[in-house]
């Protein structure tokens, strides 16, 4: 494993986690919230106590829609629970620009659903309760997230645009986890897709057996480890290539060999030419 790998290195970070000095409201991009929301958060919902001495220790801003446009790492400090010298309360919010879900799994049977994709964890697949994260990336998003030693999978020309990631990457299962993905994401051609499981920290991948459920049109495969699951277009069949290329090569060899032979033996070329002429005349109608 690479201990220095940062899976969030592709995200822009705002705020200093090591400092207690808040930003100016008119310069802050915190979650791309409007200035009025930022003012309410900073002043704990009130506007009469500038030093926050009597401000409430709790404030509920209410739900806000945070979209992929706000993707980034936002580091913040509490202005209420803060002595700015010997006491502070800090936090970090990470907004990721792709679909994902968290699922806590244990020794029972669990199924995680992300859009129309299903991942089933059989009973006893883990020995203790663990949280897992299932995410769906595009090819471009994957290229930003993977470290340098993982780029060989992204550089594949036939990589499909849907990539699924199950974290923690190094999580081992005692029995195979089962994946079901709508086949429409892969051109709907059952002979067209190879499933590759990729370990992003070491930059290695293996091909997984897969099948297509004809009734549900779901691509099915399974694995006993988490990781990145990418899908590439299968290379052309070697048998088909051999069936076309080999005869062409043989014909070229025969033609080239014939030309070389007659150039080295011009008298044989004359003899063969005369023989063809006689053979041609023998087919003429006689008067």
Per-residue pLDDT tens digits for 150-188? 666 666 657 788 889 998 888 999 999 999 998 876 665
Q: What is the pLDDT of residue 8?
A: 72
Range of lowest pLDDT (22-26, 73-77, 156-160):
156-160
Going by C-beta distance under 8 Å and a sequence separation of 6 or more, which residues neighbour residue 274?
A: none
At 252, give phi and psi (nearest 5°): -60, -40
Residue 174's nearest CA partner among 124, 243, 220 is 124
Query: Is the pLDDT reported for residue 242 higher than 80?
Result: no
Which letter, b or e, does each residue of 125-163 get, where b requires 16 or more Cβ atoms within 10 Å of its Cβ?
A: bbeeeeebbbbbbeeebbbebbbeebeebbeeeebbebb
Query: Is the pLDDT reported for residue 2 higher than 60?
Result: no
Q: What is the pLDDT of residue 6?
A: 66
Assign domain 99-233 to a CATH class.
mainly beta
Residues 184/186/190/194 CA torsion (nearest 10 deg): -150
Range of lowest pLDDT (40-44, 94-98, 112-116, 281-285):
281-285
CA distances 186 to 32, 73, 191, Å, are 35, 32, 10
Question: For residue range 178-190, what is the model confidence (pLDDT) as tens digits?
Answer: 999 988 766 656 5
Residue 189's nearest CA partner among 235, 137, 233, 239 is 233
Confidence of residue 13 (pLDDT cuts 50, 70, 90): confident
Confidence of residue 82 (pLDDT cuts 50, 70, 90): confident
Q: What is the pLDDT of residue 57?
A: 83
- Contact present, 178 and 122 (Cβ < 8 Å): yes
Q: What is the pLDDT of residue 238?
A: 56
- Contact present, 196 and 153 (Cβ < 8 Å): yes
Q: Mean of the per-residue pLDDT values for the chain?
A: 81
Query: Is the pLDDT reported for residue 54 higher than 70?
Result: yes
- Pair type for strands 130-137 and 163-167: antiparallel
Q: ∠186-192-197 over CA atoms, to 5°?
A: 70
């Amino acid at each position: 494993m690479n201990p220095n790998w940062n899976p969030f290195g592709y995200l822009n970070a705002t705020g200093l986690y090591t400092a207690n000095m808040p930003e100016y409201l008119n310069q802050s991009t915190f979650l791309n919230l409007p200035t009025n929301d930022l003012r309410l958060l900073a002043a704990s919902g009130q506007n009469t106590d500038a030093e926050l001495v009597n401000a409430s220790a709790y404030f509920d801003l209410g739900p806000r829609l945070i979209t992929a446009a706000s993707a980034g790492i936002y580091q913040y400090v509490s202005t209420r629970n803060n002595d700015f010298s010997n006491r502070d309360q800090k936090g970090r919010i990470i907004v990721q620009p792709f679909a994902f879900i968290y699922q806590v799994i244990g020794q029972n049977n669990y199924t995680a659903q992300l859009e129309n994709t299903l991942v089933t964890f059989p009973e006893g697949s883990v020995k203790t309760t663990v949280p897992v994260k299932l995410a769906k990336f595009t090819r471009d998003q994957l290229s930003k997230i993977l470290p340098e030693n993982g780029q060989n999978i992204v550089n594949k020309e036939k990589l499909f645009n849907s990539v699924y990631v199950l974290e923690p990457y190094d999580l081992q299962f005692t029995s195979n986890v089962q994946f079901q993905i709508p086949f429409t994401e892969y051109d709907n051609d059952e002979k067209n897709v190879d499933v590759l499981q990729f370990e992003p920290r070491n930059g290695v991948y293996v091909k997984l057996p897969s099948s297509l459920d004809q009734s549900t049109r779901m691509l099915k495969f399974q694995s006993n480890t988490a990781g990145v699951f990418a899908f590439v277009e299968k290379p052309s069949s070697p048998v088909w290539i051999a069936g076309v290329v080999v005869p062409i090569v043989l014909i070229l060899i025969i033609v080239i060999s014939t030309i070389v032979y007659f150039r080295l033996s011009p008298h044989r070329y004359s003899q063969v030419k005369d023989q063809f002429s006689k053979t041609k005349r023998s087919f003429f109608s006689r008067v």
